[in-house]
Structure 1
Amino acid sequence: MREADAYGLALQSASPQLGAAVGAIGGELRTQSWDLGWELATHLQLCLAQFLPPLAWRDLSWLAVAIGPGSFTGTRAGVATARVLAQQLALPLFGISTLAAVARSQPALLQPEGTIAVRMPARRNQQFGAIYRVTPDGQGLLPALADTAMTAADWQQTLAAQPADCQVVEAPPQLGATASGVWHLAARAWQQGERPHWSQAAPFYGQHPVG
């Protein structure tokens, strides 16, 4: 199959706002968000069924899902749904960091060989942080610091060690729009020949949900 024909569907459910993105590599990317709140898990599959047409499930070549950090319930529901779909359709499934998706969804940040720091509030007076280096072509992200829960003081210390031109980004409370970032990162991995099995995609919570 030509890359231009490789349609992919990406899901972002790590916040009360569900997001989806679908498109072919090199073609137009279609996105949509739904403010579902606590009912995200209940309506997720219905939203996808209404969003996908005029494409059919058989038209897809790969799937992608945000694996967290973020909402425990939403992340779990999104990953579980994506795993079932990938298994039933026999498609590769890309698990993408929510923080990486936040960075990739903002094209203005993608300065070749630049540095992006992404922060997201966490529980118990902590925060999630990650550091990414932009690839020379300005399209990909390489993790310099994987998603980590840390104190505010530790985060400031981490930032102090970054280049002076490091761009610091706060993850928005509603993440639906970052489905585009999930899609772009997965599409790049697809182009590079990666074909991950659905069983490899697992939620990243970063913290225990209780306590």
Structure 2
Amino acid sequence: MTSLNSPLYGLALHTTSSQLGLSLSDFAQETYTKTWEVDRELSNYLHQYLLDFIAPKTWQDFKFIAVAKGPGSFTSTRIGMVTARTLSQQLNIPLFGVSTLAAFAWFHQDKYDINDPIPVQMKASRGQLYGAIYTKNTEGNSLNSLLVDTVMMPEEWEKKLQDLQIFSQPLITPSALGMTANSVLKLANHDWQQGKRPHWSEAIPFYGMSVVTN
């Protein structure tokens, strides 16, 4: 049982790619992130990796859960979302769904100033792509969205960038994204600090279209 003086943690799951990422933190002294190359074996290993990862902590040590909600692999995203929603429901703690693209933008945020746009793109199927554009907020501790996650043709993406007069090269997501689990956690913690306490049912996956993995 957690004592009254024990720190409470946030836990993040990132399952949208071939690389599983888990991250936990008390946002003061302890932060721990780990990745595994699971590819199509995610469903076979996720629960055991989770139990091993949080030990010696117990589920009662967590104040919220965060999960990468997509875009990404349909099956892997679904597994992560179902796991996170189940944990949140059973533990009766908030669940934050965080965009895969936002997490990748935050992973690289130290390369950008407050007012700099951060365009991010990810390959999708049928010749399309996912695009989103962010800026750091004025405090530099989270992101604002100039363009929410959208699936579109490359020429549409180029036009949006031109219309917004964004001439910097977009960040292009790699095939393995589990290493950005801590970015998912940090973005969720900002919302927690703002007093947000989303119910597990509010975490909705963004499947869009399945990402091309070859």
Alignment deviations for residues 71-125 of structure 1 (CA, whole Å, 9 cap, x no partner): 0000000000000000111110000000001011124234212210000000010
The equivalent of 1:80 in structure 2 is: 82
Q: Which string of whole-angstrom CA distances, capped at 9 and with x for unpartnered residues, describes residues 16-53 of structure 1?
A: 11001100123332100010110112211111111111
Aligned equivalent of 1:186: 188
| Residue 158 of structure 2 is aligned to residue 150 of structure 1 | no
Partner in structure 2 of residue 15 of structure 1: 17
Q: Distance in 2 between matches of 1:54 and 1:111?
A: 39
8 Å contact 2:124–2:210 — kept in the other structure? no
Asked whether 1:168 is paired with 2:170, we answer yes
Picking from 39, 47, 71, the partner of 2:41 is: 39
- State the percentage of identical aligned residues: 43
C-alpha distance 87-110 of structure 1, shift in aligned 2 (>3 A): farther
Q: Is the 8 A contact 1:10 1:65 kept in 2?
A: yes
Q: Does the residue aligned with 1:65 lie in a helix, a strand or coil?
A: strand
TM-score, normalized by length of structure 2? 0.91
Select which of 101, 108, 116 maps to 1:106: 108
Partner of 1:91: 93
Match of 1:119, SS?
strand
Note the residue ranges of structure 2 that are not aligned, 5 or more in a row: none
Task: Give distance in 2, aligned partners of 1:132 and 1:164.
Answer: 11
Measured after TM superposition, the shift of residue 5 of structure 1 is: 3.1
SS at match of 1:172: coil
* Structure 1 counterpart of 2:128, one-letter code: Q
Specify the alignment match of 1:135 in structure 2. 137
Question: What's the secondary structure of 2:170's corresponding residue?
Answer: strand
3-state secondary structure, aligned to 1:132 = strand
Aligned residue for 2:71, secondary structure, equals coil
**RMSD value, Cα:** 1.9
Q: Say which of 117, 126, 129 aligns to 2:128.
A: 126
Partner of 1:5: 7
Tell me, in whole angstroms, the C-alpha distance in 1 between the residues paired with 2:103 and 2:166: 23
Contact 1:114 1:165 in 2 (8 A): no
User: Cα distance, 1:132 vs. partner?
Assistant: 0.7
Equivalenced residue count is 207
Quote the Cα distance in structure 1 between the aligned partners of 2:152 and 2:196.
31
* Alpha-carbon spacing, 1:81–1:133, altered in 2? closer, same or farther (3 Å): same
Unaligned 5+ residue runs, structure 1? none
Counterpart amino acid of residue 108 in structure 2: Q
TM-score, normalised to structure 1's length?
0.92
